[in-house]
Structure 1
């Protein structure tokens, strides 16, 4: 997979390093000569250019990329890069960094953003996850806000403990995508059973989060916790 990253700062370089380790081809783009530090990620392609310019994206051959990541520290730049990548070059998937939470509402399909990544939201969700067992935590919101990535650490009291995955009927369009056990992620096996402490990752529409939470950890009334996306009783 070929990935273009606009923004070669600490965030962009870190993403590039991870992707290269996973076998992907990466192009880092930045208009600041001070950010072109080829020795930090020598396996990546580097381009000194303004990613907000059509000519720069043409030079980068971004239309050949599978993913475009807007990872600069400027929300306006990240929105423009996402919009150009999606509408002018038809990049299949765009991921944009949200620097300021007040701007999060802008990062949607109108601006060509498929996935918006907000560090404050992720940190809040992870803190919530760290201190909560049996609470449904919303980690990411996908395209148009129609689907969310949610997580729950299965409590001992869950009625699903000991039940075969293949025997469970999830509500609506809920999809169990991974089970994390003993620190290792694995795809859901229909013949395996769920255990106390399993971290379950789901993709689901927001409308089914309440029902899913009740199914996994029924404790009476369930409500959304403002600001974190968590669901708890």
Structure 2
């Protein structure tokens, strides 16, 4: 009985020591997680077993980043408005790394070759948008609406597309290596020549999806789901 109590107590203490740190840059959070041998949450958070503020401040200073503990009053990811993105894009700017565009409405917009790597785009409406050759590396597009979007030759390595709607989307020649596509809707989508190596495709809907020439090397998937795809 004493051993059981001791194990439970030690487990509780271990959980209490964990801290979640938030950074003003998704890229910085990813880098600092590696530097401090901690866990990156895929966005701007780092889960650290025991926070050494000196080490964190040193790493943050090297990357010119600011940080706070989760739950602190100050926000660390600045919100970018849709109008600002469109204005800057029209002026020739393509670099929007780390942009916070959660729930943004960018439907039918022409944004080819835009750099939205590490951007927060969960729940965003990008239906019918032109994102051909866009860089969406490690971006968060979970539950985003990409119905009919043009993502041909886009860079989507390590991108989070969990439960996203990619129905009728064009992903011809896109690089989705290591992307998370679990429970994504790919009905009628065109993935001709796409790279899905090491991608997580468990629970994805492939109804009438064109998978001609797709690289599925070491991808995580339920093979029976492919029965409805066009190959």
Give the TM-score normalised by structure 2.
Answer: 0.32
Q: TM (normalized to structure 1)?
A: 0.32
Q: Which has the higher strand share?
A: 1
Higher helix share: 1
RCO higher in 1 or 2 (8 Å CA, sep ≥ 6)? Answer: 1
